[in-house]
Amino acid sequence: MPSAIEWTDETWNPVTGCTRVSPGCDHCYMFAMYPRLTAMGVRGYEFDPQEVQLLPERLHAPLRWGTPRRIFVNSMSDLFHPRVPYGFVTKVFDVMCAAATQRGHIFQVLTKRPGRAVGWWKHTQARYEGIWPAGVWIGTSVENQKYAPRIAVLAQLPAPIRFVSAEPLLGAVDLRQWLNRGSVQWVIAGGESGRAARPMDLDWARDLRDQSVNAGVAFFLKQLGGRRSKRSGDEATLDGRHWQEYPKQTKGPVHAP
Exposure class string for 25-63: b at 16+ Cβ within 10 A, else e: bebbebeeebeebeeeeeebbeeebeebbbeeebbebbe
User: In angstroms, what is the C-alpha Rg of the chain?
Assistant: 17
| Domains of the chain listed by start with CATH number | 10-242 (3.20.20)
Instruction: Decide if 233 contacts 240 (C-beta within 8 A).
Output: no
Alpha carbon dihedral 9, 199, 111, 160, in 10-degree steps, equals 60
* Residue 191 phi, psi dihedral angles, 5° rounding: -85, 160
Give the pLDDT of residue 256.
41
CB-based burial label for 159 (10 Å; 0-12, 13-18, 19+): buried
**Of 123, 129, 130, 55, residue with least CA distance to 95:** 55
Question: Using CA atoms, how far apart are residues 158 and 34, in angstroms rounded to an integer?
Answer: 34
Q: What is the DSSP letter of 151?
A: H
Please list the pLDDT of the chain residue by residue as tens digits (257 residues).
678 899 999 999 999 999 999 999 999 989 989 988 989 999 999 999 999 999 999 999 999 999 999 999 999 999 999 999 999 999 999 999 999 999 999 999 999 999 999 999 999 999 999 999 989 999 999 999 999 999 999 999 999 999 999 999 999 999 999 999 999 999 999 999 999 999 999 999 999 999 999 999 999 999 999 999 999 999 999 999 999 999 987 544 444 43
Element (H, E) at 165: strand 162-166
